[in-house]
Amino acid sequence: MRSLQYRTTMSHDHSESILEEPAMPTSKTFGTRLEGVAYSARPAAYTVVGGQNGTVGALLGPSGMIWLPGGGSLPGESPEQTVIREVREELARKVRLVGKIGVATQFFYASDDARYYEMLAVFFLAEFPDEPNGQGEHRLYWLPLAEAERTFFHESHAWAARQGLDIFEKGPKA
C-alpha cells in the first residue's frame, strides 16, 4: 500500500492522528427520519483504509453486518480518540489517521437493540502502520469497492469508502 504523506501528531497511545482538517469538510445525510419516531443520538467515528487494487478494509460483525472499522463514541471522547480505541478493540492494531473525509448523519433502525438511531459519524482516511498485536474482536476483510458499497449496513459507510479511496488514489494535495 502506498503511504500518504500528511503532517501528524503522536497521541498518548502512540497512534498517529491528523493535525490539520480541511477548511470545508463534507457533510451528508443518509436514511430517512421518520415522523413520530424517537431517535437515540449516536456519535461515532470510522476509518477508511485503502488496500491493494482499490480494496477497502471492512469488518464482518456477529450479526452478519459489514461496516468500516470504528464505532460509537464514549462520553467525552473525541472522534479521533473513538476511532483509535475502536480499531484497537476490533482489530488489535494501531491506526494512523491521515485525513478527515467528512461527516455524515445516518438514520437507521437497529434490530439488535430494537431502537432507532440518528448516528452522527466522522470519517477518517487512515493507514495501519503495523501488524495486529494479538487477537481483535473481528476479522479484517479487504473488499473491492463495488462489493463494499453493496454490502455495507450503513449507506454512509459506502459514501465514505468511495470518498476515501478517491482521495487515496489521487494522493495528498500539494
Q: Domains of the chain: which residue ranges?
A: 8-170
Q: In one letter, which amino acid is 25?
A: P
* Alpha-carbon distance values, 154 to 19, 22, 119, 140, 143 (Å): 28, 24, 10, 17, 15
Sign of the CA dihedral with 32 first, then 33, 39, and 42 last: positive
The domain 8-170 having CATH identifier 3.30.1330.200: the answer here is no
| Residue the block writes with cell 485503502 | 50
Q: Is 35 exposed, middle or buried (0-12, 13-18, 19+ CB in 10 A)?
A: exposed
| Amino acid making up residue 120 | L
- The structure's pTM equals 0.85
Q: Residue holding cell 468511495?
A: 162
pLDDT in tens, the chain (174 residues): 333 433 334 444 444 444 344 444 568 999 999 999 999 999 999 999 999 999 999 999 878 899 999 999 999 999 999 999 999 999 999 999 999 999 999 999 998 889 999 999 999 999 999 999 999 999 999 999 999 999 999 999 999 999 999 987 776 554
